[in-house]
A and B are shown apart, each in its own frame.
Chain A
Amino acid sequence: MTTLEAAEHEAEAKGTPQSTVKTRKRPVWMERPNPLVQVVKAIALFISVILVIIPFWSVLATSLADQKTINKSAGGMVMWTSSPSLNAYKAILSGGVVTRAMIISIGITVVGTLLSLATTAGLAYWLSRKSFGSKPMLLLLLGAVLFTPGLIPSYLVVKEFNLLDSWWSLILPVMVNAFNVIVMRAFFQELPQELFESAEIDGASSFTILTRIVLPLSKAVLAVIGLFYAVAYWNAFFNALLYIQTTDKWPMALVLRTFVVNQTTIGGDQVGMSEVMPPQLPLQMAILVVAIVPILIVYPFLQRHFAKGVMIGAVKG
């Protein structure tokens, strides 16, 4: 734990926690690296990176492939298509099951993330100040991290609230993640408290302090926690499986399960096109791609904040 605490302070000071203390140049005392060892290391890393990239590449290439290319590979995945076509994407995005699921998932992700950030920040802010009831509430929060309610009782609570088959069942139960609250509270506590005091003397209310001082200073942590929430909402499979019964209300995860994992055939009436259907495999891979793309889009923007968010969580949690 102590190493971690030091790590965090270091991160605080440098701003960029992952870039190690100095730009790495071989220190005078270090011997010239053994070329053989270097080669082995490089190969090991190269293989791990390739193993991550290949599936993405292949899925993308297959989603763009036409019937001829698919036939040539005996109906399997391809790595290269000479005549890429967007037909599969046109089919799934021109209305029908996948388009609807896409809109539903985007809606749940946007609404859920905003609500989550607002409630999480509010709770974290309350607990970060020495104020009425913040201590017992903090204990309650730690308890929530430690004790996870079972599957059956959670289901029954959602059922008793009449949330079954409602999109709210995908948002409300996971809206506030206790661990994220703890991370955010830790961040708020590290802000210079003098700022709050002087604002209070100037007559600012708690709400003003939160919106004008705390939140603008906490963009990094808001970005990380926001990303975690957004990814969780976008990916939510388990809750959807449990709580959503009507096919028309399916989010992306259930569409993926049905059409890609279980390989249920996609009919013309299930997508916007009914005349000429692209082959099944590109259709399935196109669904997979549209499920991955939103994550790829936000990923680079938020990536630089990861380590910081994770470290705070590890230290204070």
Chain B
Amino acid sequence: MREAISTGDVEDAALQRGRFSRTMRRLSRDKLLVGIGLPGAIVIILFHYLPLLGNVIAFQDYQPYLGITEAPFVGLTNFSFLWDGNPAFLNALVNTLILTVIQTVLVFPVPLFLALLLNSLAGEKLKRLLQSILYLPHFLSWVIVVALFQQMLGNAGMLNTFLINHGLPQIHIIGVPDLFKGLLTTQAIWKDAGWGTIIFLAALSQVDQQLYEAAAVDGAGPWRRLWHITLPSLKGLFILLLILRLGNSLSVGFEQIILQQGPVGLEASEVLDTWVYNNGIIGGNWGMSAAAGLVKSVIGILLVIGANKLAHVFGERGVYEK
């Protein structure tokens, strides 16, 4: 604290007046700076921390006309879906977990493959062009992506029109419950695989070229070099991204799913997020939905902490140090 105050006179005076006035003095010195930052800070507090406090309604019998302050506390009653085996909730939970696993196993590694592929290209200009095209879908909203997929794969879409014109059997992809998870996965890959390559490409460009040279001198062919140099160099980054992903893993594409729930029905498509939306905002079951949302967030945080521990066990840095 002391060195922050510039002149000796001010320092002495401030020391005499104690901690509070020292704080006030610093505030008045920096008031313009604080003022510049304050609007942003207020928004964060109002729309991020206030809702966090709002989670209190998970323990209340919340009624819209009463408001948060008036609502009576009901303990853990709202969490009853956890132990009374609410079938709709269980269904949503199972779907969420399946999608989480599918997306972690199938969607997550795609950018790595794509990045390796792009990186092994010779021409810098061609590489740039391909990247620009592959990044683009990331910037489209889910509404647009879903609409595009409908037009391509829907019953009257491009694919089926093509198949009919060539006398082949039609394939129904949109609106079939059994194929829904595959559809979601394909959409997720289409939208974000290209974007995900950015970070891997940057890391790839940093691998020491001398390592490759040394390996080649030792007689390692291209595949050996990929296996023994490239992939190990990316391991830390890969694990870091995986952990970060786990924290969000129970949020499996809310917008994507809510847009396509109509034709496939709830059984195949309901996940935790949509259950909270349908049950709370639409169904007016505020307390219970807030409780489910809270459980989801807590699991997400636990997953990150757990995965990070695991990363430490395997000698990686993870998101934060021990």
Query: Residues of A with Cβ closer than 8 Å to B?
Result: 1-4, 6-7, 10-11, 17-21, 23-24, 26-27, 29-31, 33-34, 37, 41, 44-45, 48-49, 51-56, 58-59, 62, 73-77, 79, 118-120, 122-127, 129-134, 137, 140-141, 143-144, 146-157, 159-161, 172-176, 178, 181, 205-207, 210, 231, 234-238, 241-242, 253, 256-257, 260-262, 285, 288, 291-292, 295-296, 299-300, 303, 306-307, 310-311, 314
Contact = CB atoms under 8 A, between A and B. Distances in A.
Given A76-B160, A144-B49, 4 more contacts: A20-B204, A45-B130, A124-B40, A140-B45
Given A17-B202, A73-B161, A261-B143, A150 B137 contact: no
B160 A154 contact: no
Contacts of A52: 133-134, 136-137, 190, 194
B165 to A, nearest CB: 8
Contacts, number: 321
A149 B144 contact: no
A179 to B, nearest CB: 11
A147 B68 CA distance: 21
A205 B146 contact: no
A295 to B, nearest CB: 5
B164 A157 contact: no
B210 to A, nearest CB: 10
21 contacts: A11-B202, A48-B114, A55-B151, A59-B148, A76-B161, A122-B40, A132-B31, A147-B297, A147-B301, A149-B54, A150-B51, A152-B286, A156-B54, A156-B286, A159-B64, A235-B141, A238-B255, A238-B258, A242-B281, A257-B259, A296-B136
Interface of B: 4, 23, 26-27, 29-34, 36-41, 43-55, 57, 64, 67-68, 114, 117-124, 128, 130-137, 139-144, 146-152, 156-158, 160-161, 164-165, 190, 193-194, 198-199, 201-207, 209, 212-213, 216-217, 221-222, 233-234, 236-237, 240, 247, 254-255, 258-260, 262, 273, 276-277, 280-281, 286, 289-290, 293-294, 296-297, 301, 317
B121 A150 contact: no
Given A76-B160, A126-B34, A153-B55, A175 B216 contact: no
B133 A49 contact: yes
B47 to A, nearest CB: 4
Nearest to A228: B139
B315 to A, nearest CB: 14
B173 to A, nearest CB: 14
Given A157-B47, A176-B43, A261 B150 contact: yes
A21 B209 CA distance: 10
A159 B89 CA distance: 26
Contact of A148 (B233, B280, B297): B297
B67 to A, nearest CB: 7
Contacts of A205: 32
Given A2-B236, A31-B222, A151 B158 contact: no
A289 B156 CA distance: 19
Contacts of B131: 18
What does DSSP make chain A's interface, helix, strand, loop or mixed? Answer: helix
Given A147-B52, A157-B54, A130 B4 contact: yes
A149 B50 CA distance: 9
A123 B37 contact: yes
A172 B51 contact: no
Contacts of A175: 43, 47
Contact of A54 (B150, B152, B161, B201): B152
B141 A151 contact: no
Contact of B54 (A44, A120, A123, A153): A153
Contacts of A73: 161, 165
Contacts of B49: 140, 143-144
Contact of A74 (B161, B213, B301): B161
Nearest to A161: B46
A51 B189 CA distance: 11
Contact of B202 (A18, A59, A146, A300): A18
A31 B121 CA distance: 15
Nearest to B193: A48
Contacts of A126: 33-34, 36-38, 40-41
B192 to A, nearest CB: 12
Contacts of B134: 48-49, 52
A253 B123 CA distance: 39
Contacts of A19: 124, 128
Given A144-B48, A178-B44, A288-B147, A253 B141 contact: yes
